[in-house]
Amino acid sequence: MIRALSVLAATFRVAAQDCERTSIAGVDALAARPRTGSGPVVVYANAATPLGIEQPGVDRLLSALAGAGFVAIAPELPHVRLGEVTPETIDSLVDVARSAGPRVALIGASTGAGLAILAAADPSLAHRVTAVAAIAPFASLRNVLELATTGFYGDRPYPAAPLLSRAAARSLAASAPDDSAVPTLLANREHARFDELYAALAPETRALVEDLSPLSQIGRVAAPIELASSASDPFFPVEESLALADAGRDVRVTVTPALLHVKPCLRPGLVRIMTLLDRTLARASHAEPVPALRPSVA
């Protein structure tokens, strides 16, 4: 628990140390290593933000993990700065995780939380993942599209942040550029028409939406999964986390008001986030230490 407390406390500090830019599997990344030069690997998938891995706080998290004895890596995944989720994004995260070490833990926030689950389910990586922690994840890309275009989650209005609409539209447009039904779906604002317009998408587009949904893939994740969400998350309703828990094999959900989307804050329930992090780091620490990052030839 002391290790988790030190990591969580370090994320509140202003200064960060020991981070460096590198390239892993051809992907630009920010990385930090412990003073010993080796340790188990933790790969962090960032939330959607225009600053990407240069977002303040990413370096502090990596430095804190390095201080706790881990090799910590945050890749600049394709399109995530714009909030897009595409097959290329997931493939890049899988490639980074496979190249970073023989065993890895995955931590993700918001968009990155869904990506962490999707990567951990990849057949080429699943057996090498020691733990997954997903903070404020999405579960169903179809649900996200409905929320982003109509403002409804299920049968109720949900006041989602405007960024969600832009990110969902970009994800679908980039993933299915040749589907003529996509623009009509994205332009629609009537909740009553969503099902009809979604059904009009090409079968391969709907299959892709399913493949890009952690809900359809989480059952393939072999490692224990920790989920955390606020009951009033501004992007992804807490029901997304609850649905993931029902679909997964070894999943624990933490619902706490101590999260402002993905940012821990000094509120009741903060200790539950610390406990979640402690379980994740304990699982990750059992992995074989790696002596250094292994940059790609590129």
pLDDT number for residue 288: 66
Residue recorded with tokens 């939330």:
47
Q: What is the pLDDT of residues 187-238, one digit of tens each?
A: 999 999 999 999 999 999 999 999 999 999 999 999 999 999 999 998 999 9
In this prediction, residue 163 has a pLDDT band, given cuts at 50, 70 and 90, of confident
What's the mean pLDDT in 144-160? 93
Kind and range of the H or E run holding 280: helix 270-284
What ranges in 81-161 are assigned the alpha helix state H? 87-100, 111-120, 141-150
In the chain, residues under CATH classification 3.40.50.1820 are 2-139+213-284
What's the mean pLDDT in 7-18? 60
pLDDT number for residue 8: 61
pLDDT number for residue 12: 60
What's the mean pLDDT in 262-289? 86
In this prediction, residue 37 has a pLDDT band, given cuts at 50, 70 and 90, of confident
Residue 195 has phi, psi (to 5 degrees) of -60, -45
Q: What is the pLDDT of residues 54-111, one digit of tens each?
A: 988 899 999 999 989 999 999 999 989 988 888 999 999 999 999 999 999 999 999 9
Count Cβ atoms below 10 Å from residue 276 Cβ, excluding itself: 20
Mean confidence (pLDDT) of the chain: 90
pLDDT number for residue 4: 63
pTM across the whole model: 0.91
In Å, how far are 17, 146, 148, 201 from 190, measured between CA atoms?
49, 10, 11, 17
In this prediction, residue 271 has a pLDDT band, given cuts at 50, 70 and 90, of confident
| CATH code, 2-139+213-284 | 3.40.50.1820
Q: What is the pLDDT of residues 227-269, one digit of tens each?
A: 999 999 989 999 999 999 999 999 999 999 989 888 888 788 8
In one-letter notation, the amino acid at residue 101 is G
* Rounded Cα–Cα distance for residues 143 and 215 (Å): 11
pLDDT number for residue 89: 95
Q: What is the pLDDT of residues 101-137, one digit of tens each?
A: 999 999 999 999 999 999 999 999 999 999 999 999 9
| Token reading at 270 | 């903060």
**Backbone CA torsion sign across 272, 129, 47, 252:** negative
In this prediction, residue 175 has a pLDDT band, given cuts at 50, 70 and 90, of confident
Higher pLDDT among residues 6 and 57, named by residue:
57
In this prediction, residue 161 has a pLDDT band, given cuts at 50, 70 and 90, of confident
CA 104 to chain CA centroid, Å, is: 15
Residue closest to 113 by CA, chosen among 91, 88, 85, 92: 85
